[in-house]
Amino acid sequence: MEGLLEHPGYDGEKLRRVSEQLPCREVQAGMLLSLMGEPQQYCYPSLFIYGHRASGKSHVVNVLMKELELPHVTVSCVECVSSALLFEQVLLSFFGCDAASLLPRSPSLSDFVRIYKQRTSEFPSKQTRYIVMEQAELLRDASVNLLPALLRLQELVEDNVSVILLSEIVWDKFRPNTGCFEPLLLHFPDYSKAELLQILSAGRNSSYSAEFYSSYINILLGVFYTVCRDLRELQHLAALNFSKFCEPVAEGKVKETETHKLWKNIEPHLKKAMQTVYLREVSSLQWEQMDEHETGALRGLSAHTHVELPYYSKFLLIAAYLASYNPARTDKRFFVKHHGKIKKTNFLKKNEKTSNHLLGPKPFPLDRLLAIFYSVVDSRVAPTASIFSQISSLVTLQLLTLVSHDDQLDSPKYKCAVSLDFISAISRTVNFDIVKYLYDFL
Amino acid sequence: MATSSFSRGCFVFKPSAKKKKKKKTTVDLESYFTDGCEGAESSETRFKLCLDLWNKIKTETEDLQDELNRNILDSLLQFTRKCSSTRRHGNWASQMRASEIPTAALVLGVNVPDHDITFQSLSELLRCSVTPHVASLQAKECGALKHLMKRVLERLMDAVVDDEEEEEEKEEVQHSGAPLHKSVHCSLRALCDWYSSKTKKSSCSSSGKKRSSSAVDEHQQPPVVIIFKDLEAFNPKVLQDFILICSRYLDRLPLMFIFGIATSPSTVQRMLPHSVSSLLCIELFQSLSCTQHLTTVIDKLILTHSFPFKLNGKVMQVLVSIFLYHDFSVRNFIKGLQLALLEHFHSQPLSSLCCRKKEAQIQLQQLSAGDLDRIRQLPSFNRFLKEQDQQEQDNLQTDDTYLKEVCQKLLKGLHKYHKNYYPVLRCLHTLTSSLPRYPLGKQIRELHLICLEKNVWESEEYQSAMKLLKMLAKDELISLLQKCAEVLQPVKSKKMKNAFVQLEELLDKFKQLNAAAELAPSVEEKLTCPVKNLQKKTDLFQLQKTLLEMNESRRAKRMSPFEVLRNEAMEFVDGLVKNHLSPPESKPLYEVCYYSSSATVRRHLNATPRTSIQAALSSPYCYIQNDSLKSEDGSVSNAAPDICIAHKLHLECGRLINLYDWLEAYSTVVSAAEGNDPDPDGSGKMDEVKHARFIRAVSELEFLGFIKATKKKTDHVARLTWGGC
């Protein structure tokens, strides 16, 4: 193979193992290796690797680090709620826990640099140390000076250290206003279909032949490639559906080579998988069990949209929906008994020709909600405390959202957060014709 | 306690834990109960009865809850076990598969107050049968990822985890030098270390005890279960990040989630993007709906003669409508029941008789003369008295021992009434609940409410239900009657046993009829012969005539034996209803068992803040029980508190109120109350005290939301309410 990695300073045997583990990523790995240089050489201060989800960024870096036994630490930025956690992890894995315990409470960047320097002077490194930051896009939300400092950490701590940032976003979205040290950019392109086929086929089940498995993968890709190119997802799906694919072979009905019959058997199953288990409508566990029972009538998560609500909550929600989607001017038309004949054209303003449903819900004050509620509900309702508490429980159920700030006790504002389908289902249960009250459907 | 804040607002000072301990409960429950209680002499026994009954209700409902939750909890437990077992026995497929966190989506319905009990029993069950590591989280304590982490670690490790801010405070106090101990940071890494040390330890100890190998295997890696009690209220971003982090540690830490969902399972998809939800293996669990839950609770607690305490129709109506209209919460329903129970024993001196039959007899003998007088004053007893002849009436009015004897009989009658009422109610419900359009209600509680209100057999709905019943087909009728027989069978009262025997006889007759019908299908033939005649005739007039004749003959036609029997059965049911389903108000001494003050219950459970403010302002007498404030025709006396006067005056104004005019009017009213002339020296100068009082009243009204400052005119305020006097 042309992609066999060769680089001075590293053991050939190790490099061979690396390239075995990195199918279809030889070019990127080679590039990375040549950027890193020999272990004892100084590396470029910061590298920025970007590419889509599951394009092998972390995998390549981790395999290189592990197999070549380089001193490194891998930090996930999601996990680092505070920068203290980041500093602690770095110090912990480079210098042991006594270094990490030197960090004061809520350490600043300079604390980190000071301790790092102090430690490197005691234990100078013979090889380049690597700090690998996964999901680096979250560093943008951290304190302002963290990212620029990390980019030139080599300079700050005067040590042979290099920071590798991994992200799904391009570097242009990172650059801070104040300017910073530009890292070297390295792009990982998406896997092509052939590459996906090659990688997926590598993970075959040992009890079946390689040709058989790769024909299965071929069929799988034929169904799923148009909607999903995520390698991890595809691997997951391959594992879930393989037993079904093998069924006729195991029963002895079909030989391994009769691809067409196998395809006919598996294709509807895969199509169904695309609608259910791929969208996580049905859990993978249920999917596997369904194979056993052959029930087929498994309802997905989104099939359960029905919500039972108390009677007045239903009307409150209806009132909220009306308040959100009707202009306030038209309330008189809908809710005052003897409003006279007012045509829709009287209300129309030029910019309001677009449907309110396309514009989304608008905020409304509590008073308006209650006014509509009292006119919509068919019986006289006393303004009891439980009516008000129902409003707030609708907010916690996320059927309404509070728009104004929590602290504003005086006339809070809400938005209705349910769909037209949902509200029509609700109003059907209380015999309320909501369409008659909606300005858009006049 | 004080704050240094000048801004307006509420400050909550929680009593510190030390103080709580010091304060002993010197005033126990009983003295609370007797305080202000009517008929204090029997309050002790009443309190005891009340407590007994409440404890009984409580245990009963708890058992019920456990039973209802058992199904769903069992399936959940099975799910957790299955998840933890598949993780260990990995085959090729599970190795290849992306590792997903097993997640149970538990749909519980919108009755959020009830969820606590469910989660409590769930986590207890999990603790004792699956894993010791259970942490349950509530959204309000997990505003940010940091807090969420902290809570998870705290609950799982059972230790206080250092938080930076808190630690800072401590350090300030202690002024210690370098921190000696290594702090535990809130990260899952710490949790992993803790978990691995824990499992290692436990596996060592268990092998030391030489347990069977399978048990060791089962308990070696117990899953770590994290319960999100109210998923909807969580911040989606926090939840997403937490799941992302957890998925990174899944190989070292067998995590499991339980989502408590109040609305619908699709919220999971709304809150989590595909990239996150693809990390979860979600299975759905649906709990029993709250209306079903209520039905069983009512069945067990109210529709039974074993609880002597009863609710009358109106109170029942209030409780049920609070449930249906407002909260769907069974817990609140039971709380309402508790309130009614307490109020009954507190306010009704004769409630000492509200207990089992034998105890009631004993209590009756111990009644004081005052209590006996109370009995004589009961409206239901008066009604009973009027039905007796003069001699009897005099006896009852004067002779206490005779009265006790009669009351004994009456109480016995009341108990018997209850014993027969509920089975007959159930019978009637089984018969009518499947009729089209449900003339007597779908649920048994609706039928119960009708029966409590009035004589059910006089209602139109009952008549129409009976008409429908008389049209039932044979199979349906027989199956319904059999169900009724099943209801009546276990009842141990003489009348019900009789009724059961009669019903069995009826059913036998139906069966015989079946057999007879198979032997002789004769009736049909007679009917068909005029039809044959019909075919011969072609004349229109003749045809009409014959058709009319046919109609006539059909109407006059003798009823088939089945129809006769059906009518007989319906008459039997009708007789049962008329004998046993009369409303309790018709029974003498019903006040002993029935709580009837629906207004009290409504006021306590369904508070109306606005109307009470209005009431306080317009008639202060109902809160400040001062005779000088008493007034008729809704006017406010001029001795009322300032705010009441200001409120009354502002009702007379339009949308905008001139403050100076208002002040003038106010000062006139107040000076009249003090007995002075409105303006003694005629200078027009305002008394400073009055001025200050007025300003205070106005700002109080502003605080209550009656007026607000307006920018339209500087010396005016705007009214926020409509209407006036």
| One-letter-per-residue 3-state SS of B150-202 | HHHHHHHHCCCCCCHHHHHHHHHHHCCCCCCCCCCCCCHHHHHHHHHHHHHHH
Can you give the pLDDT at residue B160?
A: 56
Contact B283 A283 (CB under 8 A): yes
For residue B110, the chain A residues in CB contact (below 8 A) are 307-310, 313, 393, 397
Contact A384 B608 (CB under 8 A): yes
The pLDDT tens digits for A80-90 are 888 888 888 88
CATH 1.10.10 fits A311-344+355-441, yes or no: yes
For residue A280, the chain B residues in CB contact (below 8 A) are 269, 274, 277-278, 280, 282
For all residues of chain B together, what is the average pLDDT?
81
Can you give the pLDDT at residue A338?
A: 67
For residue A298, the chain B residues in CB contact (below 8 A) are none
Confidence of residue B79 (pLDDT cuts 50, 70, 90): confident
Q: Which amino acid is at B288?
A: L
Nearest to B265 among A97, A301, A384 (CB): A301
The angle at the Cα of B660, spanning B656 to B661, to the nearest 5 degrees, equals 70
Can you give the pLDDT at residue B218?
A: 47
Rounded mean pLDDT, A61-82:
88
CB B156 within 8 A of CB B184: no
The pLDDT tens digits for A125-145 are 788 899 999 999 888 888 888
Contact A76 B248 (CB under 8 A): yes
- Our CA-based measurement puts residue A313 at a distance from the nearest CA of chain B, in whole angstroms, of 7
Q: Is A280 on the interface with B (CB under 8 A)?
A: yes
Nearest to A393 among B112, B282, B283 (CB): B112
Fold classification of A2-187 is Rossmann fold (3.40.50)
Look at A110-114, A157-161, B42-46 and tell me which has the smallest mean pLDDT: B42-46
Rounded mean pLDDT, A102-118:
87
Q: Is A170 on the interface with B (CB under 8 A)?
A: no
- Our CA-based measurement puts residue A392 at a distance from the nearest CA of chain B, in whole angstroms, of 12
- pLDDT above 70 for B236: yes
Which burial class, exposed, middle or buried, applies to A296 when counting CB atoms under 10 A from its CB (0-12, 13-18, 19+)? exposed
The total of other beta-carbon atoms located within 10 Å of residue B55's CB is: 10
Can you give the pLDDT at residue B523?
A: 46
Can you give the pLDDT at residue A352?
A: 58
Strands laid side by side in the A46-50 sheet: A72-76, A129-134, A161-167, A46-50, A184-187
Which of B97, B163, B241 is the mutation pick for testing A, counting most A CBs within 10 A? B97
Can you give the pLDDT at residue B208?
A: 41
Q: Which residue of A has its CA nearest to B239?
A: A78
Residues recorded for chain B? 725
Which burial class, exposed, middle or buried, applies to A145 when counting CB atoms under 10 A from its CB (0-12, 13-18, 19+)? middle
Rounded mean pLDDT, A304-323:
91
- pLDDT above 60 for B679: no
This model of the complex carries an ipTM of 0.90
Which of A105, A305, A426 is the mutation pick for testing B, counting most B CBs within 10 A? A105
Q: Which of A407-411, B536-540, B711-715 has the highest mean pLDDT?
A: B711-715
Q: Residues 79..118 of A with a Cβ closer than 8 Å to B: which?
A: 79, 81-82, 84-85, 88-89, 97, 101, 105-106
What DSSP element (H or E) covers A161?
Answer: strand A161-167
The pLDDT tens digits for B89-100 are 656 766 667 678
The pLDDT tens digits for A333-357 are 888 876 665 555 555 555 556 788 8
- pLDDT above 70 for B527: no
pLDDT more than 70, % of chain A: 93
Rounded mean pLDDT, B621-636:
75
Can you give the pLDDT at residue B227?
A: 93
- pLDDT above 90 for B59: yes
Contact B107 A396 (CB under 8 A): no
Look at A157-171, B43-57, B177-191, B305-319 and tell me which has the smallest mean pLDDT: B177-191
Contact B93 A243 (CB under 8 A): yes
Confidence of residue B88 (pLDDT cuts 50, 70, 90): low
Q: Is B103 helix (H, G, I), strand (E, B) or coil?
A: strand
Contact B282 A312 (CB under 8 A): no
Q: Which of A178-192, B203-217, B612-626 has the highest mean pLDDT?
A: A178-192
pLDDT more than 70, % of chain B: 81
Q: Is A74 on the interface with B (CB under 8 A)?
A: no
Domains of chain B: residue spans and CATH: 63-160+221-288 (3.40.50.300), 293-517+558-595 (no CATH), 609-719 (1.10.10)
Can you give the pLDDT at residue B681?
A: 52
- pLDDT above 90 for A290: no
Can you give the pLDDT at residue A17?
A: 87
Can you give the pLDDT at residue B167?
A: 42
For residue B107, the chain A residues in CB contact (below 8 A) are 304
Can you give the pLDDT at residue A42?
A: 87
Q: Which residue of B has its CA nearest to A205?
A: B92
Q: Which residue of A has its CA nearest to B261?
A: A397
Look at A174-188, B602-616, B622-636 and tell me which has the smallest mean pLDDT: B622-636
Q: Which residue of B has its CA nearest to A314?
A: B325
- The residue ranges of every structural domain in chain A are 2-187, 205-304, 311-344+355-441
Nearest to A280 among B230, B277, B325 (CB): B277
Confidence of residue B368 (pLDDT cuts 50, 70, 90): confident
Can you give the pLDDT at residue A344?
A: 55
Nearest to B282 among A203, A235, A301 (CB): A301
Q: Is A227 on the interface with B (CB under 8 A)?
A: no
Nearest to B98 among A53, A236, A285 (CB): A236
Q: Is A351 on the interface with B (CB under 8 A)?
A: no
Q: Residues 26..55 of A with a Cβ closer than 8 Å to B: which?
A: 53
Beta bridge partners of A3: none
Can you give the pLDDT at residue B538?
A: 63
Nearest to A307 among B263, B606, B609 (CB): B263
B397/B394 Cα distance (integer angstroms):
5
Q: Is A429 on the interface with B (CB under 8 A)?
A: no
Phi, psi of B131 (to 5 degrees): -150, 145
Contact B233 A386 (CB under 8 A): no
Can you give the pLDDT at residue A201?
A: 87
Output the six-digit token pair for B140. 């309000």
Name the pTM for this structure.
Answer: 0.82
Contact A313 B266 (CB under 8 A): no
The pLDDT tens digits for A248-288 are 888 888 887 788 888 888 888 888 888 877 777 777 777 77
Rounded mean pLDDT, B531-556:
68
Question: Looking up tokens 């594992």, which residue turns up?
Answer: A239
The pLDDT tens digits for B383-432 are 998 888 888 888 888 888 888 889 999 999 999 999 999 999 999 999 98
- Our CA-based measurement puts residue A82 at a distance from the nearest CA of chain B, in whole angstroms, of 8
pLDDT more than 90, % of chain B: 19
Rounded mean pLDDT, B325-342:
92
- Our CA-based measurement puts residue B76 at a distance from the nearest CA of chain A, in whole angstroms, of 14
For residue B283, the chain A residues in CB contact (below 8 A) are 283, 285-286
Output the six-digit token pair for B675. 């007995």
For residue A393, the chain B residues in CB contact (below 8 A) are 110, 112
Can you give the pLDDT at residue A238?
A: 87
Q: Give A93-102 contacts, CB < 8 A, sequence gap 24+.
A: A94/A119, A94/A129, A95/A119, A95/A123, A97/B182, A101/B179, A101/B182
B425/B432 Cα distance (integer angstroms):
11
A322/A334 Cα distance (integer angstroms):
10
- Our CA-based measurement puts residue B698 at a distance from the nearest CA of chain A, in whole angstroms, of 18
* Angstrom distances, CA of residue A246 to CA of A217, A366, B50, B105, B383: 12, 61, 69, 32, 85
Can you give the pLDDT at residue B629?
A: 76
For residue A423, the chain B residues in CB contact (below 8 A) are none
For residue B188, the chain A residues in CB contact (below 8 A) are 79
